[in-house]
Amino acid sequence: MDMVSTDKQLIADAWTSRELYANLEALCDFGSRFAGSPSEAQARDFIREKFHQYGLAHINLDPFGYLGWWRGTCSLQIVAPTPRAFDAISLVYSPSTPAGGLRAQIVDVGMGTEKEYAAQRAHIAGKIVLCSSANPEEGRAPHRREKYGWAVDAGAVGFIYARHLPGGLPETGSLRAGRLGEIPAIAISFESGFALKRLIQKGETIATLEAQNESRPTTAYHVVGEVKGATDETIIVGAHYDGHDISQGANDDATGVCLVLELARLFAPFKGQLRRTIRFIAFACEELGVLGSTMYAQKYRDEMSRIAFMLNLDSGVGDGAKGFTFSGLDDVETFLKNVARETRYALRLREKIETASDHFPFFMEGVPAVMMLAKPGDRALGRGFSHTAMDTLDKVNERDLHECAMVAARVVLRVAQSETLPHHRAPDEIRDLLIAQGLEEGLRAQGKWKFE
* Footprint on this chain of Zn ion (rule: CB under 5 A): 252-253, 314
Contact 79, 103 (CB under 8 A): yes
| Complex with Zn ion: residue 245 or 252, whichever CB lies closer | 252
SS3 for 205? coil
Of 387, 380, 390, 389, the residue nearest 172 (C-alpha)? 387
The CA-based diameter of the chain, rounded to the nearest angstrom, is 73
For the bound state, the minimum distance from the C-beta of residue 303 to Zn ion, rounded and expressed in Å, comes to: 24
For the bound state, the minimum distance from the C-beta of residue 412 to Zn ion, rounded and expressed in Å, comes to: 20
| Complex with Zn ion: residue 228 or 240, whichever CB lies closer | 240
For the bound state, the minimum distance from the C-beta of residue 244 to Zn ion, rounded and expressed in Å, comes to: 9
| Complex with Zn ion: residue 245 or 253, whichever CB lies closer | 253
| Complex with Zn ion: residue 50 or 240, whichever CB lies closer | 240
DSSP secondary structure letters along 354-370 = --SSTTHHHHHTT--EE
| Complex with Zn ion: residue 253 or 400, whichever CB lies closer | 253
What is the C-alpha to C-alpha distance for residues 68 and 75, in angstroms, rounded to an integer?
22
| Complex with Zn ion: residue 109 or 364, whichever CB lies closer | 364
* Strand pairing report for 102-108 and 206-211: antiparallel
For the bound state, the minimum distance from the C-beta of residue 311 to Zn ion, rounded and expressed in Å, comes to: 14
| Complex with Zn ion: residue 245 or 314, whichever CB lies closer | 314
CA 194 centroid distance within chain: 27
CA 443 centroid distance within chain: 15
What is the C-alpha to C-alpha distance for residues 347 and 345, in angstroms, rounded to an integer?
6
CA atoms in the 13 A half-sphere facing the CB of 316: 35
CA atoms in the 13 A half-sphere facing the CB of 6: 18
| Complex with Zn ion: residue 314 or 400, whichever CB lies closer | 314
For the bound state, the minimum distance from the C-beta of residue 79 to Zn ion, rounded and expressed in Å, comes to: 37
Query: 10 Å Cβ neighbour count for 63?
Result: 10
Contact 74, 90 (CB under 8 A): yes
For the bound state, the minimum distance from the C-beta of residue 287 to Zn ion, rounded and expressed in Å, comes to: 7
| Complex with Zn ion: residue 130 or 372, whichever CB lies closer | 372
Of 248, 237, 241, 249, the residue nearest 222 (C-alpha)? 241
What is the C-alpha to C-alpha distance for residues 332 and 314, in angstroms, rounded to an integer?
19
Which helix (H) or strand (E) element contains residue 79?
strand 74-80
| Complex with Zn ion: residue 369 or 413, whichever CB lies closer | 369
For the bound state, the minimum distance from the C-beta of residue 388 to Zn ion, rounded and expressed in Å, comes to: 13
Contact 258, 332 (CB under 8 A): no
Q: Is the bond leading into 253 cis (omega within 30 degrees of zero)?
A: yes
For the bound state, the minimum distance from the C-beta of residue 252 to Zn ion, rounded and expressed in Å, comes to: 4
| Complex with Zn ion: residue 207 or 257, whichever CB lies closer | 257
Look up residue 287 and give its DSSP letter: G
For the bound state, the minimum distance from the C-beta of residue 325 to Zn ion, rounded and expressed in Å, comes to: 13
Query: 10 Å Cβ neighbour count for 203?
Result: 8
Contact 117, 155 (CB under 8 A): no
For the bound state, the minimum distance from the C-beta of residue 292 to Zn ion, rounded and expressed in Å, comes to: 11
For the bound state, the minimum distance from the C-beta of residue 209 to Zn ion, rounded and expressed in Å, comes to: 27
Look up residue 395 and give its DSSP letter: G
What is the C-alpha to C-alpha distance for residues 314 and 333, in angstroms, rounded to an integer?
19
